[in-house]
Amino acid sequence: MKTASFGVKLFLKTGRTKEDGTAPIYARIRIDRDSKMEITANKWIPPIFWNDKGKVIKHPDAKQINKHLEAFVSKINNAYSQLYIAQQEITLEAI
């Protein structure tokens, strides 16, 4: 089953900032225009180290965190690709 659009965007959920000043990194998955889901990437950073391109910058662990985020997004994209290739229904729950 084909879908009109699919996308993954990383963002910092600043509304859940801890007392230590760190906020969680989330992925927003969209299928078509009306289906979206947010899931945690299990990483927390101070907002000052986040940029709008979905990368951690100028942080002592930036390289390690960015690799984790790349692997995280890759898993999501691979799940979508496998469903698409198998011509299965593509839903947020399936991904």
Which residues on neighbouring strands pair with residue 29, listed in sequence order?
Answer: 8, 37
pLDDT at position 3 is 57
Q: Which residue matches tokens 């979206």?
A: 36
Helix (H, G, I), strand (E, B) or coil at 10: strand
Model's pTM, two decimal places?
0.84
> Across the chain, which distance is largest between two alpha carbons, in Å?
46
pLDDT digits over 16-73, tens only?
A: 999 999 999 999 999 987 889 999 999 999 999 998 887 778 888 889 999 999 999 9
